[in-house]
Amino acid sequence: MKVTLFATCIVDMFQGNVGKATVELLERLGCEVEFPESQVCCGQPSYNSGYVKESKEAMKRMIETFRDAEYVVSPSGSCAFMFHEYPHIFAGDPVWEPKAKALAAKTYELTQFIVEVLKVEDVGARFEGNVTYHTSCHMTRLLGVKEPPMILLKNVKGLKFTELPGKEQCCGFGGTFSVKMSQISEQMVDEKVHHVEETGAQYLVGADAACLMNIGGRMERLGKPVKVLHIAEILNSR
Amino acid sequence: MSMKIGTEQFKERVDSGIHDDFMRGAVAGAQDGMSLKRKAVTTDEMSNWEDWRNHGEEIRQHVLEYLDYYLEQLSENVAKRGGHVFFAQTKEEANEYIRSVVQKKNAKKIVKSKSMVTEEISLNAMLQEEGCEVVETDLGEYILQLDDHDPPSHIVVPALHKNKEQIREVFEKKLAYTKTSKPEELAYQARVTLREKFLEADLGITGCNFAVAETGSFSLVTNEGNADLVTALPKTQITVMGMERIVPTFEEMEILVSLLTRNAVGQKLTSYITVLTGPREELDVDGPEEFHLVIVDNGRSTILGGEFQSVLQCIRCGACINVCPVYRHIGGHSYGSIYPGPIGAVLTPLLGGYDEYKELPYASTLCGACTEVCPVKIPLHNLLHKHREVIVEKEGKAPVSEKLLMKAFGLGAASPTLYKIGSKIAPAALNPFTSGDKISKGPGPLKAWTDIRDFPAPNKERFRDWFKHREKGDKRP
């Protein structure tokens, strides 16, 4: 199966390991992975800040980039959700709305793709350690992907799972919220860090690089020993 | 009190909010408790809860679509039962009408049951100007009123930010109370004091949860029964309602009341659901001799028919407030409005203007928790986003530095060439700020991030470069 990777700008620039793990994992599951060079950013940071006009050019670029893809897969629930928002953003536009709809229909978040399209629930991974999982808001509430990461993690050999208390609560990232309302963001991420510590887990795992960057960055600043991993890195462990 | 509370700027209010440890403990505890209770009587108990929400949404959308029709029907039916109806376009008009009734009746002692819309129009201030004694009879509102008009911090639980010890202190100071902070003893004191006020009152003022157009009735949903006394004892009654709070018939009211009580307080029904129609009739043993219904627009008709219309679907259950992670940490007073939380952040700028309230739509991570629980399916996080769009693109009220940054971002994100150059030089550009694999003191827009958390240093090799080399068959780790 041919998969076109929508790596996201955060992964491209800051979380290369997540991109690598995603490629290796998909290949092991029998996919042929391609990465179109012209992909940049889905436009979410500026769009969510209210700059709709400014963001539309970036969105059109992404729509064109993935036009011929069969499946678009992203290791970020939030960025994959953004593709699903495109049809609403271009609603009423005779040229771009149909194109946006076509892109949304073939875009999947990584774990969702593995479970729902590849129909794989056990990727054959092995990972020794006590793990807790942060359910990102956009991925669970807006994209509606709740079960797939849980199913895949449950089948990782050696992995001990501890549920995160208050898991449905936002970590305080929220794109530009994290800098615009940093005062509030700090309180939110601190509560999240506190909950992570309560689990006693050695690893905090998530499926969204941005939330992990927020929680991980705060834990590092506070000198917490918990390591942060993207779910692709766990599923790619042997 | 008007819609606006306090005089400080948003950031100052937030700052005092997050440093109020007691308030934060109370809010977090209340949120956790109420969320559990709500879940028990909604999604846990009713497998078709989504159908209920859909139905609730349909009812509210239908009413808004035909609001002129239902307003007319309601007015006619209230008049048929001998009530007076006044339609107030502004808060001033509403206050003037109520003032005229108060003067005509020579009313001096007034009891009120809980009503957000009378807070919105600053009714109490006007009544006090008139020399009336106005007593709030909902226990939470009463406590706040006694405490020198402390503003409400929640639309359903106005005194959420106070604990029983603080309430005891207020009672001690204002009512010469001498007993303990046991809730039963405090409630008993309030009951004794309020009972007298009910008996003396010559005018009762209530809000309205839902007015029934078909019969000209209106309903009040309470747990304390105070609204029953407000409507049963005084000779004159004035009910004030927001113009959108109508249902066609009792059938729809039943559904919305179920959605309201389950979602607001986690109860299948509250202790009292009071429905009243017009003034006292010949065989009635109680009820007012004269009944006035004041229907308040105060900006609502401007919202109607526009991109924010769905906010008028709100039934004031407060569930969005109870799940909001931002409200959790800053509390109700930080919003600077009697309407806090997600619903407040959407509604307040619409009623009070962007000049005063332009920060509120940004006080959200757009996490969608509010939209997920709303029993009438208001897309709250989408409306918050819509506000941002209006502020940036129509009102032009965004800061210049942000505009430039977003413009640059837009250009970079739309151009693979610009992005490629930018991302390639990023490690070198950020090198002076980088130590090991992280940035602890970032420049420019990164500063607000690194004030709180570390930022990862850019990859030495971008993922796209790794991928390209790998495709060429290079063995890379």
Residues B167-199 have pLDDT tens digits of 999 999 999 999 999 999 999 999 999 999 999
Q: Are B387 and B361 in contact (CB under 8 A)?
A: yes
Q: Is the dihedral of CA B443, B448, B452, B453 positive or negative?
A: negative
Query: Of A116, A138, A168, which closes a domain?
Result: A116
Same domain as A40, residue A87: yes
What is the C-alpha R_g of chain A? 17
Same domain as A100, residue A60: yes
- Which chain B residues have a beta carbon less than 8 Å from that of A66? none
Query: For every residue of chain B, which 3-state class applies, written as one string?
Result: CCCECCCCCHHHHHHHHHCCHHHHHHHHHHHHHHHHHHHHHCCCCCCCHHHHHHHHHHHHHHHHHCHHHHHHHHHHHHHHCCCEEEEECCHHHHHHHHHHHHHHHCCCEEEECCCHHHHHCCHHHHHHHCCCEEEECCHHHHHHHHCCCCCCCCCCCCCCCCCHHHHHHHHHHHHCCCCCCCHHHHHHHHHHHHHHHHHHCCEEEECCCEEECCCCEEEEEECCCHHHHHHHCCCEEEEEEECCCEECCHHHHHHHHHHHHHHHHCCCCCCEEEEEECCCCCCCCCCCCEEEEEEECCCHHHHCCCCCHHHHHCCCCCHHHHHCHHHHHHCHHHHCECCCHHHHHHHHHHHHCHHHHCCHHHCCCCCCHHHHHCCCCCCHHHHHHHHHHHHHHHCCCCCHHHHHHHHHHHHHHHCHHHHHHHHHHHHHHHHHHEECCEECCCCHHHHHHHCCCCEECCCCCCHHHHHHHHHCCCCCC
Q: What is the pLDDT of residues B31-67, one digit of tens each?
A: 999 999 999 999 999 999 999 999 999 999 999 999 9
How high is the pLDDT of residue B474? 61
Q: What is the pLDDT of residues B281-316, one digit of tens each?
A: 988 888 999 999 999 999 999 999 999 999 999 999
Query: Of A63, A95, A116, which closes a domain?
Result: A116
How high is the pLDDT of residue A149? 98
How high is the pLDDT of residue B417? 84
How high is the pLDDT of residue B471? 76
Q: What is the pLDDT of residues A187-209, one digit of tens each?
A: 999 999 999 999 999 999 999 99
Nearest C-alpha in A relative to B36: A166
Q: CB-based contacts of A55: which residues, under 8 Å, 6+ apart?
A: A43, A44, A46, A47, B410, B413
Residues of chain A with pLDDT under 70: none
Least confident of B102-106, B138-142, B435-439, B453-457: B435-439
CB-based contact A217 B453, cutoff 8 Å: yes
Same domain as A160, residue A138: yes
- Which chain B residues have a beta carbon less than 8 Å from that of A184? 14, 18, 326, 329-330, 363
Choices 3.40.30.110, 1.10.2020.10, 3.40.50.10420, 1.10.20.10: CATH for B20-302: 3.40.50.10420
Least confident of B93-107, B150-164, B320-334: B150-164
Same domain as A200, residue A174: yes
Is residue B445 predicted with pLDDT exceeding 80? no
Q: CB-based contacts of B435: which residues, under 8 Å, 6+ apart?
A: none
Q: Are B237 and B206 in contact (CB under 8 A)?
A: yes
Q: What is the pLDDT of residues B401-444, one digit of tens each?
A: 788 888 888 888 788 888 888 888 888 888 888 888 888 888 87
**Maximum alpha-carbon separation in chain A:** 53
Any idea what the CATH number is for the domain that residue A20 is in? 3.40.50
In this prediction, residues B22-34 reach a mean pLDDT of: 93
Residue A53: strand, helix, or coil: helix
Q: What is the pLDDT of residues B240-296, one digit of tens each?
A: 999 999 999 999 999 999 999 999 999 999 999 999 999 999 888 889 999 999 999
Same domain as A85, residue A106: yes
How high is the pLDDT of residue B269? 92
Number of residues written out for chain A: 238
Put simply, whether B384 touches A (Cβ < 8 Å) is: no
- Long-range Cβ contact pairs of B278-281 (< 8 A, separation 24 or more): B278/B78, B278/B81, B278/B82, B278/B83, B278/B216, B279/B81, B279/B82, B279/B83, B279/B237
Same domain as A39, residue A97: yes
How high is the pLDDT of residue A188? 98
* Residue B196: HSE in the Cβ half-sphere, 13 Å Cα cutoff: 5
How high is the pLDDT of residue B1? 55
Put simply, whether B353 touches A (Cβ < 8 Å) is: no
| β partners of residue B455 | B439
How high is the pLDDT of residue B293? 98
Same domain as A225, residue A137: yes
In this prediction, residues B321-348 reach a mean pLDDT of: 97
| β partners of residue B222 | B272
- Which chain B residues have a beta carbon less than 8 Å from that of A19? 463, 466-467
Chain B interface, best mutation among A32, A33, A40, A60, by max B CB count within 10 A: A40
Query: B108: buried, middle or exposed (CB in 10 Å: 19+, 13-18, 0-12)?
Result: middle
- Of chain B, the percentage scoring pLDDT greater than 90 comes to 81
State how many domains chain A has: 2
Same domain as A183, residue A151: yes
Query: Of A98, A116, A134, which closes a domain?
Result: A116
Put simply, whether B463 touches A (Cβ < 8 Å) is: yes
Question: Measured between CA atoms, how close is A114 to chain B, in angstroms?
Answer: 21
How high is the pLDDT of residue B476? 54
Same domain as A161, residue A112: no
Which residue range(s) make up the domain with A72? 2-116
* Domain chopping of chain B, boundaries: 20-302, 401-471
pLDDT averaged over every residue in chain B:
93
Same domain as A112, residue A132: no
Q: One-letter amino acid identity for B392?
A: V
ipTM: 0.95
Is residue B477 predicted with pLDDT exceeding 60? no
**In whole angstroms, how far apart are CA B325 and each of A167, B28, B31, B32, B177?**
12, 9, 9, 11, 37
Question: Measured between CA atoms, how close is A1 to chain B, in angstroms?
Answer: 17
Residue A97: strand, helix, or coil: helix
How high is the pLDDT of residue B3? 85
- Long-range Cβ contact pairs of A10-13 (< 8 A, separation 24 or more): A10/A76, A10/A209, A10/A210, A10/A213, A11/A75, A11/A76, A11/A209, A11/B463, A12/B423, A12/B459, A12/B462, A12/B463, A12/B464, A13/B423, A13/B426, A13/B458, A13/B459, A13/B462, A13/B463
Same domain as A147, residue A46: no
CB-based contact B367 A174, cutoff 8 Å: yes
